[in-house]
A and B are shown apart, each in its own frame.
Chain A
Amino acid sequence: MPKTIEETVNELADREAIRELPQRYCDCVWRGDVDGLVGLFADDGVFTIIGNDRETTNKGHAELQKTYKAGLATLTPRPYIHNHVIELTGKGRASGRCYVELRDASDNLSWLGTGYYHDEYVKVGDRWKFQSRRAQMVHMEPKMAKGTGGSQEKK
């Protein structure tokens, strides 16, 4: 059965709100807005960095706050997001992937590396949030590999 106009408009609104989450994430990183970053996650939201030799997970606003504050102070990354795909799964849930390039503000915006995020989204009230972000680095320049413990994808 074809979707009603109301269903279609609601889906478009959901997709638009979800599409903006990784964009705002990057905007917050650029501006060093840790509170803004953490506010994009659900209260029990999870951020994970995955790689060859280890997987680091932080859950909940307090842990996220601590991790992002330390991470932004160490690496001064400047991210650019690409190729965001979204799948609405119903009942206020969705998933997606998006790809990121990183440059280094403390070194004339030299290239730091690239990777992708696997995201789970959840609708909290009338807003969409990250339920989880899993960051998989594909390539990291030495400075970034050191800063993240060398967690990049196997080649």
Chain B
Amino acid sequence: MAKSVEQLAGELADREGIRELPLKYCDCVWRNDMTGIVDLFASDGEFITKGFKREHRASGREALLKLYNGLTQGELTPRPYIHNHVIDLAGGGRATGRCYVELRNLKKNMEWVGSGYYEDEYIKVGDGWKFKSRTFHTAYMSMNPG
């Protein structure tokens, strides 16, 4: 059965709300707005990094803020560019997606340092969408993000 105009409009609004999350995330990283990044997550949101040798997990606002405040303390000050965002609405205020990122380093004349992708889970909180979890998978990094 074809979707009604109301259903289509609701889905479009959901997809637009979700599409903006990784964009705002990059925008916050560029502007060093760490509180802004954490605000994009649900209160129990998680960020997980999966490198080739180790996995790191930060859960909840306090741990996320600590993680992101350490983002620019090493040799890498990341400047991300996001690509190829795909979204699957799962219903009931849930969705999943993947998007791909390239990183350049502000501390080294914006040298290209690597790429990878995020596996995201999204959740609707009130009228807005938030990250329930972000899992970063490294494809290649010329240096350790810290």
Contact = CB atoms under 8 A, between A and B. Distances in A.
Interface string A39-82: 00000000000000000000000000000000000000011111
A124 interface: no
Contacts, number: 54
A88 interface: no
Nearest to B140: A109
B5 A6 contact: yes
B139 A5 contact: no
A64 B145 CA distance: 39
A125 B23 CA distance: 32
Nearest to B101: A80
B8 A27 contact: no
B125 interface: no
Contacts of A13: 3, 8, 11-12
A9 B5 contact: yes
A109 B115 contact: yes
Interface string A20-37: 100110110010000000
A1 B116 CA distance: 47
Interface string B1-30: 011010011011001000000000000000
Given A5-B5, A108-B140, A80 B84 contact: yes
B98 interface: yes
B139 A9 contact: no
Given A13-B11, A78-B115, A30 B140 contact: no
Contacts of B117: 30
A20 B98 CA distance: 12
Interface residues of A, number: 23
A83 B116 CA distance: 21
Contacts of A81: 83-84
Nearest to A14: B8
B55 to A, nearest CB: 20
A92 to B, nearest CB: 13
B115 A23 contact: no
Contact of B100 (A6, A26, A105, A126): A26
B110 interface: no
Contacts of A80: 83-84, 100, 102
Contact of A24 (B11, B86, B115): B86
Given A78-B139, A80-B100, A23 B11 contact: no
Interface of B: 2-3, 5, 8-9, 11-12, 15, 83-87, 98, 100, 102, 114-115, 117, 139-140, 142
Given A12-B8, A13-B3, 7 more contacts: A10-B8, A23-B86, A26-B83, A27-B98, A27-B100, A81-B84, A103-B115
Closest 6 CB pairs of A and B: A109-B140, A26-B84, A80-B83, A13-B8, A27-B86, A23-B84
